[in-house]
Amino acid sequence: MNRAARIGIVVVSVVIFCYAGLGHVLGRATDDKAYKSLTVYGEVLQKIQQDYVDDPNMHTVTAGSLHGLLESLDPQSSYLTPREYDEYKKKLQNSGTGETGLTLSKRFGYVIVLSVLPDSPGTKAGIRSGDIFESIGGFTTRDMSVGQALNLLSGQPGTGIKVAVIRRGKATPDEVDLVREKLATPKIIVQKADPDILVLRLPSLDAGRADEVRNRLLDAEKQGVRKVIVDLRECGRGPVSEAISLARLFVPSGTISTLRGQTVSAQVFSAEPKQVVWRNTVSVLIDATTSGAAEVFASAIVANHRGDVVGERTFGLASEQKLITMDDGAALILTVANYYNPGGKSILEEGITPTEIVRAVPEDSDSGDDDAAPAQETQKEPGLGPRPLSPEDPIFHRALDLLKTPVKKAA
């Protein structure tokens, strides 16, 4: 490190110390913890610059500390360096930007795949929910935010990027090529389980999905269908506004969800009786691949006792992020508000617990061989979730049994 850089670090540290001290003297601090944190941060930077074994790259050190700071808040908050933010803006402004169809979060310190859109590059490459990305484009995801990962995975359609994937039951990663594509909105998958039972599988909750479901429900009722299964497994995309519109098709009264944050005025989303089109029986299927907007819909069904919600606890990802630009050209993707279930619990922290818990992979299916994938993995269509009406789909069949069980009337 040259002399000018050393002087710069010392000056920054001194400024931080002085700012913190001045804040205390003038009484400007509303929270002493913030000033104490600034003091500690400045001291750590100074110690690294003075005592680290090698001459440190302080730009890298500072960027790394900011990444860690944001990641310590929640999996979706991210820091983008000036260069990364510049790339992010260009890709966002280009309507032709391709992507891979993956919903991501972080777990065990690495980027993890929550769900995969059908017919997407992720599906074609064999990526499955639960896969862990050890690296993307040669960069370890241990030091990568979700925002950075999504930024790397998007780009010019037809271009490829390599990812190192650790699959369930495997100790070493597989290298996989993902070829970016311009994605179309995935279609609803419709299937009849019985003459009076309709299955609607929603791969996403993109804008306009609620209107599409509304039309499906009206047609189904005309055809004599009296029971509906809404399959939200592998559903991790779409705005929460669409989930609220979808819930209002089923829930006649009560609270759908509440949004609130430190600087965000609380918003309560209530049912709208005039918007209800389906008053018959409904069951909802969820598991750990269900996230975001889909969780808000499932929460509304559970909390308002509108129907059975069958499966496993969801991941917990229903929140709102805000893009905040910095003076140096960097940017923060910061979670500013969480969605809460009607009982007041944060979906981000709690996920959604089904009314009927069913394991997607039965406990006795484990073979004991670390290299052998669970039975479900050999049956599952990547990005589509378990096949409806399949013997290997215990969640679906439990929902079906519940729908077929006669309701006992009170004496």
Choose the weakest-confidence range: 50-59, 90-99, 155-164, 266-275: 50-59
pLDDT recorded at residue 306 = 96
Architecture of domain 78-179: Roll (2.30)
Long-range contacts of 145-148 (CB under 8 A, 24+ apart): 145/67, 145/70, 145/71, 145/77, 145/78, 145/79, 145/106, 145/333, 146/75, 146/76, 146/78, 146/104, 146/105, 146/106, 146/111, 147/76, 147/78, 147/79, 147/80, 147/88, 147/333, 148/78, 148/80, 148/84
CA atoms of 90 and 386, how far apart (whole Å)? 37
Q: Write the pLDDT tens digit of every residue in 128-146.
A: 999 999 999 999 998 788 9
Query: What burial class does residue 242 get, using C-beta atoms within 10 Å of its C-beta: 0-12 exposed, 13-18 middle, 19+ buried?
Result: buried
For residue 115, pLDDT beyond 70? yes
pLDDT recorded at residue 44 = 76
Long-range contacts of 103-108 (CB under 8 A, 24+ apart): 103/236, 103/237, 103/291, 103/292, 104/133, 104/146, 104/149, 104/150, 105/75, 105/76, 105/146, 105/291, 105/315, 105/317, 106/71, 106/75, 106/141, 106/145, 106/146, 107/75, 107/132, 108/132
Confidence of residue 19 (pLDDT cuts 50, 70, 90): very low
Q: Write the pLDDT tens digit of every residue in 260-302.
A: 999 898 999 999 999 999 999 999 999 999 999 999 999 999 9
How do the domains of the chain map onto residue ranges?
A: 3-56, 78-179, 189-320+335-404
Confidence of residue 34 (pLDDT cuts 50, 70, 90): low
pLDDT recorded at residue 381 = 39
Domains 78-179 and 189-320+335-404 share a fold: no
Confidence of residue 35 (pLDDT cuts 50, 70, 90): low
**Taking residues 148-159, what's their average pLDDT?**
94
Q: Write the pLDDT tens digit of every residue in 195-229.
A: 999 999 999 999 999 999 999 999 999 999 999 99
Confidence of residue 31 (pLDDT cuts 50, 70, 90): low
SS3 145: coil
Q: For 189-320+335-404, which CATH superfamily applies?
A: 2-enoyl-CoA Hydratase; Chain A, domain 1 (3.90.226.10)
More confident residue, 17 or 315: 315
